């Protein structure tokens, strides 16, 4: 309760600064707190949330225009921009059509939340996993140098890679399949780089 009160108090103070124009509400905040922030700040800031399940309600009742940065690649691809289409429909007042997209991509939402839900309250981000998500729908990829997040190194396992690909297939997207290309990055792979150039790496489990 104290943390929630501090969040609202600090947000109210920051909203009055002339160079503050928007607020991103994190997934870890519950619905009542999120609604309270919209009530308090909605007429002063462009407020968005990365909690996907709140999106339909917030667009309809609070005019939400954006969601802030998050792993939206986990739910769509350039060829099938599901989230973009859903937002457009919501903003046009076509709620039922928007919700049809929401339910279509629910399997991918659950897979992403299963990954992120235990980590976000601790302020942690599994960077190899997030880059892998991007690669599967067209991003460059690349495992990169070992990166710690608050002292934690995340390892991308075969089971996790399979689960991400299955989630895409469940929503009608065929993911990229070349793990070696991901490891070195698309651009480097095209130049001839291969897995032995970047492995071993504790962020990758073969």
- Whether the per-residue pLDDT at 86 is higher than 90: the answer is yes
- What share of residues in the chain are helix, strand, coil (percent, to 5)? 55, 5, 40
pTM to 2 decimal places: 0.89
**One-character DSSP codes across 121-183:** GGT---HHHHHHHHHHTT------S---BTTB---B-HHHHHHHHHHHHHTT------HHHHH
Res 8: pLDDT: 79
List all residues 6 or more positions away from 40 whose beta carbon is below 8 Å from its beta carbon. Answer: 8, 11, 12, 15
Distances (CA, A) of 160 to 111, 123, 163, 205: 10, 21, 5, 10
Backbone angles phi, psi at 130, to 5 degrees: -65, -40
- Average pLDDT in the 158-181 region? 98
CB atoms within 10 A of CB 83: 20
Contact at 8 Å (CB) between 184 and 198?
yes
Lowest-confidence pick of 120-129, 167-176, 179-188:
120-129
pLDDT digits (tens, 9 = 90+) for 1-56: 666 677 778 888 999 999 999 999 888 888 988 998 999 999 999 999 988 899 99
Lowest mean pLDDT across 47-56, 102-111, 157-166: 47-56
In the chain, the percentage of residues whose pLDDT exceeds 70 is 98
Burial class (CB in 10 A: 0-12, 13-18, 19+), 30: exposed
Mean pLDDT, rounded, for 142-158? 93
């Amino acid at each position: 309760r104290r943390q929630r009160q501090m969040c609202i108090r600090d947000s109210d103070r920051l909203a009055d600064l002339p160079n503050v124009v928007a607020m991103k509400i994190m997934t870890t905040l519950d619905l009542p707190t999120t609604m309270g922030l919209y009530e308090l700040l909605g007429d002063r800031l462009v407020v968005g949330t990365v909690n996907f399940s709140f999106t339909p309600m917030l667009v309809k009742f609070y005019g939400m225009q954006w969601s802030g940065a998050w792993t939206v690649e986990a739910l769509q691809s350039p060829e099938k921009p599901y989230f973009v289409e859903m937002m457009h429909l919501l903003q046009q007042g076509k709620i039922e059509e928007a919700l049809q997209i929401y339910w279509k991509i629910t399997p991918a939402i659950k897979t992403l939340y299963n990954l992120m839900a235990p980590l976000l309250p601790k302020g942690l981000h599994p960077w190899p996993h997030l880059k892998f998500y991007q690669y599967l729908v067209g991003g460059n990829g690349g495992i990169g140098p070992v990166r710690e997040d608050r002292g934690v190194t995340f390892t991308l396992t075969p089971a996790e890679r399979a689960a991400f690909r299955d989630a895409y297939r469940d929503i009608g997207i065929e993911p990229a399949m070349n793990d070696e290309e991901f490891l070195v990055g698309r651009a480097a792979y095209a130049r001839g780089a291969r897995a032995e150039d970047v492995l071993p790496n504790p962020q990758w489990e073969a």
